[in-house]
Amino acid sequence: MKVILLQDIKGVGKKDEIINASDGYARNFLFPKKMAIPADEGNMARLQSKKDSQEYKKELERKDAKQVKSKIENIVLEIKVKAGENGKIFGGVTSKEISEELKNKYDIKVDKKKVMLKETIKTLGRFNIEIKLYEDITANLVLQINAM
């Protein structure tokens, strides 16, 4: 019997996957526990429309990420910090601060987890920072850190 899984089941399949299950397993286990539904025409149509809407949403997110990438790559983000005489920063510049400055100065919302900093920046100067916007879209931000 063909069934559509409503959740991930270890050893059986992933959510929204169509599998062949024995009649007894489907009727006595999967259906009563609401883990699967029969793969009839109506349910298949709903599954297909759900997949289409997910694909459309992904495409919109990809377009948005490309627009944000073009904005980010055309700017030089300048952050002013307190620093000592030898160019060392008091504290440091973190991915959270970079994300907040992008939002405040350019109205670009980027999650701090997507700013790929290996470690906190502790010196003055110019840095190239990678920002992961989508699965395969990354932007390179030029960051200029100056003393106050």
Range of the domain at 57: 2-63
| pLDDT tens for each residue of 40-73 | 999 999 999 999 999 999 999 999 999 999 999 9
Same domain membership, residue 139 and residue 69 = yes
Same domain membership, residue 80 and residue 56 = no
> What are the residues whose beta carbons fall under 8 Å from the beta carbon of 142, sequence distance 6 or more?
75, 76, 77, 126, 127, 128, 129
Q: In the structure encoding, which two tokens stand for residue 25, read together?
A: 């397993």
| pLDDT tens for each residue of 100-113 | 999 999 999 999 99
Same domain membership, residue 73 and residue 28 = no
pLDDT exceeds cutoff 90 at 88: no
User: How many domains are contained in the chain?
Assistant: 2
Among 54, 60, 41, which residue's Cα sits nearest to residue 15?
Answer: 54
The pLDDT score that the predictor gives to residue 124 is 92
CATH number of the domain to which 33 belongs: 3.40.5.10
Same domain membership, residue 81 and residue 43 = no
Confidence of residue 3 (pLDDT cuts 50, 70, 90): very high
